[in-house]
Structure formats: structure tokens, C-alpha cells
Amino acid sequence: MSATTRLSPRAAVGLGLVVSAMGVLVLLLAAGMIPGGDASLEAPRWVVACAGLMFVLLGAALIVGYAVAGGAGPDGDLPAGTPRWVRATQALLGVGIVGSLTAVASWIAFGPGPRAFTVTLPLTGRGPGDETVGRAVFGAGAVLMLIFLAVLVVVSVQRIRRNK
């Protein structure tokens, strides 16, 4: 048996559509098109929309990466011979996913208004966390995500150029 498990094109399309559909539901919630959804929002609509968009793009990336391109090669890149437009599409989807996640983490860390955090630790259990500590942790994560986003853009452009 192979050390890696491959996702079949049919499974990729099915899973991609399910993940994207979940994202569409979140986008509909953000747009106020789901009745009663306003009461459950604890973030601005654009933050909720970024979370939904992340799932829509992830579903599309599954479909493009496995159903169109045929999966990843041993080096984690798309297989040799993958058309340039597929590589560019996959890169844009990746940048959109990471950018959406970065926007959400940045709002949690730096956005206006109070935040409530819960901390779960071994032996001590679960309890409320300090807002300053929570924002600092999300701030560090947001900065790391911004760095990762920049590296992703550079690496993606290099891979697209290299595989003409």
C-alpha cells in the first residue's frame, strides 16, 4: 500500500461541493439572507463573509487540485505537466484561503470591541481567558499568517513561472 492516500476525482468533486456548500451557507448568513441569523452574529458581516469565502475557496481548491490537476506530486506541488492556468487558479485559490483566514485572525486581534476567550488546559479544565492574552495570541497568529501569505505569493509565482 502506498504511503500517501490519493483522493479520486469523483470524491474530490463531491467533497469540494460539500465544503463549498457549507461556505455558501455562511455567506448567506453574512448577507442576512438566513432568517434569524442576525441574532447569532458576534462579528461584523465582512468577517463572517471571509469565513464563508474561505470554505467556498477550499472546496474549489479540492476540485481543481484533485479532479482537474490529478493531485499533488511527491514534492507537494501539482504534477509535472499541469497546465499553467490550473497552477495559476490553484495559487489564487490558496492566496484567497490564506488571505481570508488572515483577515479573520486580524479582526479578532486588532478589531474594535470586546472579545471573550475560553481557555482549556490539562488538569485545570476550561474557563474564561484574559482578553489581552487572547488578543495577543491572535495578533501573533495574524502576523505569522501575513508572513505566510507573502511567502505563499512568492512561491506560487515562482512555481507558475518555472512550469511554463
> What is the block-wise mean pLDDT of the chain (164 residues), using blocks of 10 residues?
68 96 95 80 91 97 92 80 91 97 96 90 83 94 97 92 75
How many CB atoms are located within 10 Å of the residue 139 CB?
A: 15
pTM equals: 0.87
pLDDT at 119: 85
pLDDT at 25: 95
pLDDT at 125: 80
pLDDT at 5: 58
pLDDT at 20: 97
Q: Which residues contact 12 (CB under 8 A, 6 or more apart)?
A: 62, 63, 65, 66, 67
Q: Are strands 125-129 and 117-121 parallel, antiparallel or unpaired?
A: antiparallel
pLDDT at 36: 72
pLDDT at 1: 39
Cβ–Cβ < 8 Å for 55, 93: no
Give the residue among 27, 59, 21 at the shortest CA–CA distance from 41: 27
